[in-house]
Amino acid sequence: MSPSRRIESRERGQIMDELDSLILDQAKLRFDRFGFQKTTMDEISRDCRISKRTLYERFQDKQHLFDSLIEREGHKDLENILKRLGEVADPLDRLLNLLRTSIDYFSEDTFLTRLLKNDISLYSTMLNGKSTRLITEHLIHIINNIINEGKQCGRIRPEVDGEIAAYIGFRLFQSFSYMRTIPFDAVKEKQGLYTEALVDFFYHALINDEQRREKQV
């Protein structure tokens, strides 16, 4: 490919990326205000001031558009969670902080939590979506790496299976995070207690006998 063709291809790719960002931004505003069910592709195309043909060339249907938006927002949320952890040297403390921070994050007023609060049926859709699975795999990988680091320095029992523990830890976090979106006052009153109970449960599942005895003293 000639240099001029490469430049032209790169510029076209940039234009398409900007168009996709515009569509996702406008779709986010629509979904946030009216919900998934009441939002139409016609409305999104009008908001973007583009033809329906152009919209469908970028996203084949509303579900595809929604999944792409959830993937983008999910990665943003994950980045925000990881930023809040700061520099924690001890791997076990870092892991527990990750669980606590992740659960607390979903008690805040974010795009994803508002979607779930307004339409709980979306939870299963989001849970089974390809984009959510990719984010899940990434987060489980992060947890697994922290566990393995803890095993190497003696903070976590060597016989702990990192992959299994990471999967269980993530699913527990996922359940507790979902509970944070339920408009149920009895649950909200005890959210802090539930979070600390989960962190304590996970802590005792990972530490060695010596650390357990030290904690009891």
* Residue whose token pair is 């959830």: 70
Mean pLDDT of 136-143: 88
Ordered structural domains, the chain, with CATH = 1-59 (1.10.10.60), 62-216 (1.10.357.10)
- Residue 101's pLDDT band, with cuts at 50, 70 and 90, is confident
pLDDT (tens digit per residue) in 185-211:
445 566 677 778 888 888 888 887 666
pLDDT (tens digit per residue) in 109-121:
788 888 877 787 7
- Say what the pLDDT of residue 9 is: 55
Residues, the chain: 217
pTM to 2 decimal places:
0.77
Average pLDDT, the chain: 82
| Nearest-10 crossing angle of helices 111-118, 62-85 | 130
Query: Torsion angle of alpha carbons 78, 84, 88, 91, nearest 10°?
Result: -30
pLDDT (tens digit per residue) in 30-44:
999 999 999 999 999
| CA pair distance 91, 95, nearest whole angstrom | 6
Q: What percent of the chain has pLDDT over 90?
A: 37
